[in-house]
């Protein structure tokens, strides 16, 4: 007897004939509800057994793990590691490459300034960028400048004028 054809089974998805009766079955990715007739999509992430370090994303028949911005999924497909943009992109920073959550930026050592291209560095010209007040010669140092005197002259106590 085909009970699925003769009975008003009310199965939401599939009716399966059994010995002297029938039962309802859900498609893959769904679970039979307590009413034994309707189905609910399985929330694979809700089980907390997924093992995802950052985020769990339900798929049709399972789940996948996803990492937060600035991280990439490890080969185990569950754990995440911070992206090293400096190593990954070989950005060509002349002095230092600094990783950020969304990428990287180049930074120059003390006494240098970053050029407009964002990669190369130029020595800071302290003598040119301010009114140094040196009577004769201005000498750039790493962090500032020094006044010097031409040959045959000595620097005065004010460290600016020569005599």
**Percent of the chain at pLDDT above 70?**
98
Q: Is 45 helix (H, G, I), strand (E, B) or coil?
A: helix
Q: How many domains does the chain have?
A: 4
Question: CATH number for the domain including 65?
Answer: 2.10.25.10
**Confidence band, pLDDT 50/70/90 cuts, at residue 27:** very high
* 89 plus 111 within the same structural domain: yes
Identify the domain containing residue 33 by its residue range. Answer: 1-42
pLDDT digits (tens, 9 = 90+) for 68-120: 988 999 999 999 999 898 987 677 899 999 988 888 999 999 888 899 999 99
Angstrom CA distances, 126 to 41, 54, 110, 133, 147, stand at 68, 48, 12, 12, 11
- Give CA torsion, residues 25, 31, 36, 38, to 10 deg: -90
Residues 75 and 93 in one domain: no
pTM for this one? 0.52
pLDDT of residue 132 exceeding 80, the answer is: yes
Model confidence at 19, in pLDDT bands (50, 70, 90)?
Answer: confident
Per DSSP, 106 falls in state E
- Taking alpha carbons only, the member of 71, 77, 75 closest to residue 52 is 77
Same-domain check for residues 137 and 156: yes
DSSP conformation letters of 83-101 = --HHHHH----SSEEEE-S
């Amino acid at each position: 007897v085909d009970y699925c054809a003769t009975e008003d089974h009310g199965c939401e998805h599939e009716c399966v004939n059994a010995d002297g009766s029938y039962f309802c079955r859900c498609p893959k990715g769904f679970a039979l509800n307590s009413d034994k007739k309707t189905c609910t999509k399985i929330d694979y992430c809700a089980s907390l057994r997924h093992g995802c370090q950052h985020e769990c994303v339900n798929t049709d028949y399972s789940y996948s793990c996803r990492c937060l911005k600035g991280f990439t999924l490890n080969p185990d497909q569950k754990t995440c590691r911070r992206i090293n943009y400096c190593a990954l992109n070989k950005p060509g920073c002349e002095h230092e490459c600094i990783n950020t959550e969304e990428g990287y930026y180049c930074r120059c050592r003390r006494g240098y300034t970053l050029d407009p291209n964002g990669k190369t560095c130029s020595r800071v010209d302290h003598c040119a960028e301010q009114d140094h007040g040196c009577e004769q010669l201005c000498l750039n140092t790493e962090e500032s400048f020094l006044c010097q005197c031409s040959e045959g002259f000595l620097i005065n106590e004010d460290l600016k004028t020569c005599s």
